[in-house]
Amino acid sequence: MNGLTLQDVVLTYPDGDRRLTTLDRVSLHAAPGTLTAVVGPSGSGKSSLLAVAATLLRPDSGRVLVAGRDTAGLSPRQATELRRDRIGIVFQQPNLLASLTALEQLQAMAHLRGVSAKAGLPRAERLLASVGLTDGRQHRRPHQLSGGERQRVNIARALFAEPAVLLVDEPTSALDHDRGARIVDLLAAVTRDHDTATVMVTHDRGFAARADRTLELTDGRLS
């Protein structure tokens, strides 16, 4: 099955003498080309859901399949390779490298895949243009870009490896409403254009309504 699938995923954390259940038998399937919004209040387990889907956390039980590949038996190295090749992550804070220009942020993704930065340049230029970063802004460093522009670079970077799964963590939290809306619309567009199974977690129900479907996460339970 392509896209992203979570089946009966349970995740707990130690909390003193007992364990706190963060994800309680969570199941979902995000198909390619669809934007799924997961809404919930702070502490409901949204970021944990993303972390499990991104193979950054191993669940206590249940299965996580990324583009049909079961992540249960992956070694740390294999998980890293899976993230590199099949998963794109759009961070809450853009988390761009201060020393690199927008173009270089994407070229670095090529370089860490063993492709020369020069060879990655055309795709980096195309992707930045597709998220609306042109007119020389692609040669600016993060501190020379606006918050919305930084988030666009963040999205373009996540798309660089042509991921099957795009995981988006609160993409509008640092933006005003208008710019936030444009970013969510952009995410919906790139989901269709790049045929990614996109899961976006957000606390803002207004933005969630722009997704293909919306799921609610409350106390670790998805509904």
Partner 1 sequence: MFIALREISFARGRFALMGAVVMLITTLVAFLYGLTGGLAADASSAVARLPVGSIVFAAGQGSSPQVSFSNSSVGPAQLAAWQSAPGVGSVAALGIAMSRLTSADSTTSVSVLGVPAALLPPLESGSAPAAGQVAVGAGTARADGVSVGSRVTVGARTLTVSGITADRSYGHAPSVWTTEPTWQQLSGATAPSALAVDPGTADTTALDRLQNTRTVGRAAALAGIDGFSAEQGSLRMIQGFLFAVSALVVGAFFTVWTVQRGTDIAVLKAVGASSGYLVRDALAQALVLLLGGTITGAAVGVAGGALLSSGGLPFVLSGATVAVPVLAMVVLGLAGAALAVRRITSADPLTALGANR
List residues binding partner 1 (CB under 8 A): 22, 42-43, 47-48, 50-51, 54, 56-57, 77, 80-81, 83-85, 87-89, 91-93, 95, 97-100, 104, 107-109, 111-113, 117, 141, 157-158, 161, 169
Closer of 51 and 197 to partner 1 (Cβ): 51
Rounded to the nearest whole angstrom, what is the least distance from the CB of residue 83 to partner 1 in the complex?
Answer: 4
Closer of 48 and 130 to partner 1 (Cβ): 48
For residues 107 and 113, what is the distance between their CA atoms, to the nearest angstrom? 10
Closer of 83 and 137 to partner 1 (Cβ): 83
At 178 the three-state DSSP class reads helix
DSSP string, 145-159: S-HHHHHHHHHHHHH
Rounded to the nearest whole angstrom, what is the least distance from the CB of residue 127 to partner 1 in the complex?
Answer: 14
For residues 214 and 78, what is the distance between their CA atoms, to the nearest angstrom? 31
Bridge-based pairing state of the strands 35-39 and 213-218: parallel
For residues 84 and 101, what is the distance between their CA atoms, to the nearest angstrom? 21
Rounded to the nearest whole angstrom, what is the least distance from the CB of residue 88 to partner 1 in the complex?
Answer: 8
Closer of 96 and 184 to partner 1 (Cβ): 96
Rounded to the nearest whole angstrom, what is the least distance from the CB of residue 208 to partner 1 in the complex?
Answer: 18
Rounded to the nearest whole angstrom, what is the least distance from the CB of residue 46 to partner 1 in the complex?
Answer: 8
For residues 47 and 92, what is the distance between their CA atoms, to the nearest angstrom? 10
Rounded to the nearest whole angstrom, what is the least distance from the CB of residue 41 to partner 1 in the complex?
Answer: 11
For residue 152, what are the contacts with CB-CB under 8 A and spacing of at least 6? 128, 131, 132, 133, 183, 186
Closer of 83 and 152 to partner 1 (Cβ): 83
Rounded to the nearest whole angstrom, what is the least distance from the CB of residue 203 to partner 1 in the complex?
Answer: 10
Closer of 104 and 149 to partner 1 (Cβ): 104
Q: Which stretches of the chain are assigned E, i.e. beta strand?
A: 4-15, 18-30, 35-39, 61-66, 69-70, 87-90, 165-169, 197-202, 213-218, 221-222
Q: Which two tokens stand for residue 165?
A: 């799964």
Provide the residue type at 106 as one letter: L
Closer of 6 and 51 to partner 1 (Cβ): 51
